[in-house]
Amino acid sequence: MIIAQKKRKENIAEYVLYMWQVEDLVRAARFDAGRIREMIVSRYDCPESEREAIALWYENLAERMTAEGVAEKGHLMSNAAIVTRLSDLHIAMLQSEGEPVYQSNYYKVLPHIVGLRAKAGSERATEIETCFTALYGYLTLKLQGRDVSAPTEEAMRQISAFIALLAAKYRETEDFISN
């Protein structure tokens, strides 16, 4: 909860990846409040009152995931909406004459995106969702201590830099809208 709030303000891309991980943690706890408290919340080093708020946040997420039909796979509508907004911003930046750095980075990662989409066998995901899925898969492999090939490492570095540019532009537009 606290981490999510901070990430959402500071870096929307990190927030999306964090929330996807939270969704998977809730799935691993089988949506059970007791298991959520035991497996996830007990690891927080904070006062009991704060820990209770964190537990309620996770339990609320579990309820929302069940209600939204994403218990097995998929993402909460709120998380999917952020990826959609990022995809819309991506398209706007590609069409803008004032974004040559972004466009240049896009064309560097485009072969990786095309390759990832071909491997996935689905053209339904947006390019931005494809990038997030790749980054999340990469982070999961790293957390599991699995080896990643040098070409994959380089592709993830490029995709990460590209998504960081998009996240920075998102933050600029959000700051502009909120002021």
Q: What SS3 string covers the chain?
A: CHHHHHHHHHCHHHHHHHHHHHHHHHHHCCCCHHHHHHHCHHHCCCCHHHHHHHHHHHHHHHHHHHHCCCCCCCCCHHHHHHHHHHHHHHHHHHHCCCCHHHHHHHHHHHHHHHHHHHHHCCCCCCHHHHHHHHHHHHHHHHHCCCCCCHHHHHHHHHHHHHHHHHHHHHHHHHHHHHC
* Inter-CA distances, 56 with 32, 46, 98, 106, Å: 12, 15, 44, 40
What's the confidence (pLDDT) of residue 85?
Answer: 96
Q: Does 174 score more than 90 pLDDT? A: no
Higher pLDDT, 5 or 177: 5
What is the rounded average pLDDT of the residues 156-177? 91
pTM: 0.93
pLDDT tens track for 54-94: 999 999 999 999 999 999 999 999 999 999 999 999 999 99
Q: Is the pLDDT of residue 130 over 80?
A: yes
pLDDT tens-place string over residues 1-16: 778 988 999 999 999 9
Q: What is the pLDDT of residue 177?
A: 59
* pLDDT of the residue at 158: 97
- The helix-helix angle for 12-28 and 150-178 (nearest 10°) equals 110
Q: How far apart are CA 44 and CA 112, in angstroms?
A: 37
Q: What is the mean pLDDT of residues 89-109?
A: 96
The type of residue at 24 is D
